[in-house]
Amino acid sequence: MTLHLNASESVTQKILSYLESLRKQGESVEIIDDSLYKFEKSGILKGLEQVQNDQICSSEELLEELDR
């Protein structure tokens, strides 16, 4: 499940504190702030655009490009 939160600072801190307590109990919790969410969303949208334009490559080709 993904949850996007828009709350006051005090409410946000209470929620983050609760989530941290869950994490300490061994629960799986990942917190992504708004800037990281926007960054990941733009990467996903760019990837979808590349797929639509047949601008895809194999993982081997990608690794070769990164090694240059």
Same domain, 62 and 45: yes
Same domain, 60 and 43: yes
Residue 11 has pLDDT above 90, yes or no: yes
Q: pLDDT tens-digit profile of 16-49?
A: 899 999 989 999 888 777 788 889 899 999 999 9
pLDDT value of position 31: 79
Alpha carbon distance 19, 30 (integer Å): 9
Same domain, 24 and 37: no
Choice between 47 and 5, residue whose per-residue pLDDT is larger? 47
Which residue range forms the structural domain that includes residue 49? 33-68
Residue 58 has pLDDT above 90, yes or no: no
Structurally, the chain folds into a number of domains equal to 2
Same domain, 26 and 43: no
Same domain, 14 and 44: no
pLDDT value of position 32: 78
Alpha carbon distance 12, 60 (integer Å): 43
